[in-house]
Structure 1
Amino acid sequence: MTAPVGPSSRSRSFAASLWSRFFKRAVDIVVSALLLCLLWPLMLLVAALVALSLGRPVLFRQQRPGLRGRPFTIVKFRSMRTGSGSDGQRLTRFGKMLRSTSLDELPELWNVLKGEMSLVGPRPLLMEYLDRYSPEQARRHEVRPGITGWAQVNGRNTVGWPERLAMDTWYVDNLGPVLDAKIMLTTLKRIVMRQGIAQPGQVSCEPFSGTECKEKREDV
């Protein structure tokens, strides 16, 4: 799939505006509630395996910027050992399995149900990155952050950050039911094929330097 990465048009169709303002949230509520009801046995199993493999706490919580940059607490299954050491040293084989299958992301359905996230949207990064974005890159916060997004199905952590942030703003201007459905279906394919988990030699991707950044995956 080829991802548009050029300047955003900043113009939405009437249908896209309706989807963004009214229907997208309704779909998020219905689908996240349904998935939580269907997947709770799997989530209990994953929680038990995390407790046995990595100990407590089972969940990883971290403050991230949401819609319009407002902070919220993202919730994931923990995938690293606690304590000192580099990310690579603390990331176990079990943790790698959680990430490669995206099972660590399942608790984020609760963030979606609460209205802090969407099923589809730019991934929430770190609070300290807010003042490092260009005005165009900061437009990624015009919509709720997502469990998956346009950048995630076009390379995920293997894509350079200028390109990835450009894809985020492209999504802001072009979101709609057809695009969201396409992203969701492609996400399932990426999970099955376990593509784009990390950059070569990195746990996720390169650190943020002002023009490049990473989605922090450390558990504390």
Structure 2
Amino acid sequence: MKNFVTELDPVANEEGGSLLAIFDEYKYLLENDLNGYDLLTYGFNYIQRLPYWNSIKKNFIEMLVFDALIGNQDRHPFNWMVLFYPNDEIRLSPIYDNGASLGFRFEDSYLLKMIENESMMNKYMKNTKSKAGIFEKKQVKVKQLLNYLITEYPKETASIIEKINDFNITEYNNYINSLSFISEYQEKWLLKIIPFRRNKILQWVKEKERKS
């Protein structure tokens, strides 16, 4: 964490999974038969029991929506951390371990197929799942998670959606074009996938707002 934290050093840090495991019901959180909205409701009711939930809530929600943007499907509770500072301040750590994102398993040949096929891109986006920072193995579809966050945490979700809306695509494209260590197809993919996912997220938000 010293590589991430440049301000006052925290006196302690704990992974999310270790923090959630202090409650007796953690085994049920891992092994229940719930899914979809019911699973999200139980999971967030569970995490809200952390005594410092309000200190990390905004950044936690932002992390989940950012994961939706990059297609991160492995944000389990041991992939985030809480930092405890000597002045009694408590923060969510900077996000890390984002490797399971951006079609990380796709070969160049498959990336080319995706780039050239709109229906494949839509299917990839629609089928993206998330562990929501709470579940070790269970997942929910990203669209369902986003709808849940908009409903239950409207203020925090609106904050990160505004950032996604204002995302500087030109600056992003210039950065991707500057990378020398990725293949030609990886470059084309990265130039395509982030604007595509950004637009889909904004579209889903508008759909949710209309229905509300």
The TM-score normalised by the length of structure 1 is 0.24
Larger C-alpha radius of gyration, 1 or 2? 2
Greater share of helix? 2
